[in-house]
Structure 1
Amino acid sequence: MNKTLILQKIKDLNVCVLIPTYNNERTLKRVIDGVLQFTNSVIIVNDGSTDSTAQILKNYSQLEQIHVPENKGKGNALRVGFKKATALGYEYAITIDSDGQHFPEDIPVFIEALEQVEHKNLLLIGARNMEQEGVPGKSSFGNKFSNFWFWVETGIKLTDTQSGFRLYPLKALDKLKFYTNKFEFEIEAIVKAAWNDVVVKNVPIQVLYDESERVSHFRPFKDFTRISILNTCLIVILLFYIIPRNLFRKLKKKGVKRFFVEDFLGSQDSPTKKALSIALGVFIGLSPFWGFHTVIVLFLALVLRLNKAIAFAFSNVSLPPFIPFVLYASSKMGQFILGIDYNYTLDMFKNGFEITDHLKTYIIGSFSLAIVSALVFGFIGFLFFSIFEKKNAALQNG
């Protein structure tokens, strides 16, 4: 695709290029000149640079520039840039780092990918080859770490979630609330975008790590800690808000009957997967992790790719009305295993029996009961779903 055609497509798709920069005097000019080969719709955010960045930018007075008085972080620079781009009427912003690791020649890759999809609510992340020679080990590890947590939080598998070479849908971002201002913003942005029905995908790009001129402002300990705290917060939001919200939306959209068949019975899941979901739910529900059953079962169902609706439903064997029965059964199981007898009765547990008096007996019995019950209910569930699937298939073929 020639440059003239790319220039026109960038204009037609209403795309700008956003360059956040902080003390990258050695590479900034090369990056800007490279971008100008494809478009003049450029916004530069000078994030409080203390080197010669301001002097370099004087040579580009024709471009939109924002000068932040003092360094506030890449996330803040991007958010300021997005706000300006939206105000100028752009619909998309391609972000490119100013440290020279990205090739402006890859801008057409994003434009072609955007043009090819009918669903324009799209966020593209440039996927670098992290296995190539010269890539710092800490960058490769950090990317794998980030990829894993993005998968846990969204269910989407990507090969690169840390690249700063991206295409953002500005209208979609404008509807979201963000709270971070440093490097972790780029993670918050893609996770929250995915949670709100934005398609997040990778596109292949080139990368150059030239340690003789590249300046990295990533602080391993501080920024890694910030990212870890953010991921913890995102997991909590996922478990207590996003998953319940999505289940409620499906229930409202499909109705009770269709939701029960498609999501609870999981018509697209295998009998084995559904049986394992039942087993997980029963095991967690009967385990002694009181107060954390919902968090644990949803997290494990998410990580293990099981049916969340089924696992959650069967974890509720420990709802308040059933608690005395669960405690009694667990304690009796513990007595049996340990070969002792405390003469427990069900009425004792209904009347506020202090289980802590015989904690060892209860914990051993609780885990034992959870394992046995999970196996039994999982096996019964497998038989039920196998029969249900066969009958369903017979009806469809008939």
Structure 2
Amino acid sequence: MVMPAFREEAAIGSTLDALLAVRDRLGLDIVVVDDGSDDATGRVARERGVPVVRLPVNLGIGAALRAGFRYAVEHGYRRVVQFDADGQHRPDEIAALLAVLDEGAHLVVGDRFAAGDYRVGYARRVAMAGLRLGVGLLTRRRFRDTSSGFRGIAEPLLSAFAAHYPTEYMDSVEALVAACRAGYDVREVPVHMDERAAGAASTQRMRLAYHYLRVLVALVGSSRRSLPPAPTT
């Protein structure tokens, strides 16, 4: 499990407790990547015996994920589940992502919309629809949830992400596009999205629409970036 975290001292404790409760059953190891937090995020994780990779300054979630993927590769792991620190993902759904990786997928995206209980505001809904359209045009694939932070990644894509994962603000969407364009097996699986356990989102609500539209514009401009191609079978 790779968990990027920035200023999540209020939420990360309960999130880790929930993961630790299923760790043995699912065979999980967990690493937290503290993205330069100026609060107790890292300390809360270490108090629970969870290793922490600390970035010296806040570099953004893309850089934090790349550091987490690099940690996984350097420690011999062949697959990773990306899991947010805010408590909105459900640990009991990790097995569903792992099952799809077992089937041969390289990237599994948790689709928050499939269950029908994930609600977003109008502006964000419009912006996310624009993202889906942009991703569809670039990949010739239809995805329902292009920006989910609940994902499973397996080799050889894991090593590619460890070296080349995008570190800009459109990291998760660009990574999805790059994986598709490089020929990796990318799938979606239904998941649920709960309310944030505690704390505040790093992106303010009134800026979300602007954020997503900015991502769409930047995504089109960066669509020529590439990952190493998927191996042929």
- Rounded to whole Å, the distance in 2 between the matches of 1:203 and 1:133 is 14
Equivalent residue in structure 1 for 2:200, among 215, 238, 249 = 215
Q: Is the 8 A contact 2:117 2:192 kept in 1?
A: no
- Check conservation: 1:82, 1:170, Cα contact below 8 A: no
1:316-355 matches, within 5 Å, as: none
Task: State the Cα RMSD in Å.
Answer: 2.6
> Which residue number in structure 2 is paired with residue 166 of structure 1?
151
Matches of 2:11 and 2:109, distance apart in 1:
22
Matches within 5 A, 1:1-398: 17-39=1-23, 40-61=28-49, 63-115=50-102, 117=103, 120-129=104-113, 132=117, 134-175=119-160, 178=164, 180-210=166-196, 213-218=198-203, 219-220=207-208, 221=210, 224-234=213-223, 237=224
Whole-angstrom distance in 2 between the partners of 1:79 and 1:97: 14
Return closer, same or farther for 1:215/1:160 CA change in 2, 3 Å cut-off: same
Overall identity of the aligned pairs, in %: 24
> Take 2:90 and 2:4, find their aligned partners in 1: how far apart are those partners?
15
What SS does the corresponding residue of 1:37 show, helix, strand or coil?
Answer: helix
Larger radius of gyration: 1
Distance 1:222 1:205 in 2: 24
Q: 1:228 to 1:183 in 2, by over 3 A?
A: same
The structure carrying a bigger helix percent of its residues is 1
- Structure 2, unmatched stretches of 5+, are none
Shift in Å at residue 67 of structure 1? 0.9
Q: Displacement of 1:54 after TM fit?
A: 2.7
Is the contact made by 1:24 and 1:53 (CA closer than 8 Å) also made in structure 2? yes
Where does the alignment leave 5 or more consecutive residues of structure 1 unmatched? 1-16, 246-398
- 1:264 is aligned to none
> 1:321-342: per-residue Cα shift (whole Å, max 9, x none)?
xxxxxxxxxxxxxxxxxxxxxx
Deviates more, 1:72-81 or 1:172-181: 172-181
Normalized against structure 1, the TM-score is what? 0.50
- Count of residue correspondences: 218
Residue of structure 2 equivalent to 1:258 = none
